[in-house]
Chains A and B, each alone.
Chain A
């Protein structure tokens, strides 16, 4: 089954304790992205990647790191989590449009609910 998986689905941690949220897709998609969703603020993009070893900042990258060493995986790293990073996180992937006239839909993972105390 074509899907985007995230782990863990729920995580409660303490301020300053490094954590990684994994994201994996089995559709051979070039493009992957991380979003966070907060009440009243909607979905905001954190980082995205157009392909292996290519990553770029989204709208709210502060406090986050990502890596793209393999096409299928795009982990989100919080080196020193703080309470303001308590949020619902979504990973997404899509094929990358090779031509301006073409575009593709994004597939989203089930979400990771993170609480930092």
Chain B
């Protein structure tokens, strides 16, 4: 299993882009990069996932480096409601293993 490394915490100003990094240097060819977030003690919420190419949806963008050893989740215009723990997970198929994640605090 590819392990991930994320900073434990980050701050971001409201309205600015939040860029959350994730290192996954041991990722293998069939492993996807997933991002989830958990607001307070609610159930984790899926954000985005990708394999090789950059991805964008209504919530965020995912930038994966060409060697696939790291990725960045971008929230283009962070709001106070984006304050949460963000998890980067690298797994094949459906089996998810959550690490400690990054606690993002969006400040007014």
Write the residues of chain A forming the contact surface with B, with a CB cutoff of 8 angstroms: 4, 31, 33, 35, 37, 42-45, 48, 59, 88, 90, 92, 94, 96-97, 100-101, 103-111, 113
Contact = CB atoms under 8 A, between A and B. Distances in A.
22 contacts: A4-B43, A33-B96, A35-B98, A37-B41, A42-B99, A42-B100, A42-B101, A43-B96, A43-B98, A45-B95, A48-B95, A92-B96, A96-B94, A103-B32, A103-B92, A104-B94, A106-B44, A106-B46, A106-B96, A107-B46, A109-B43, A111-B43
Interface of B is mostly: loop
A42 B93 CA distance: 20
Interface of A is mostly: strand
Interface of B: 30, 32, 34, 36, 41-46, 49, 51, 87, 92-101
A90 B43 contact: yes
B92 A88 contact: no
A94 B43 contact: no
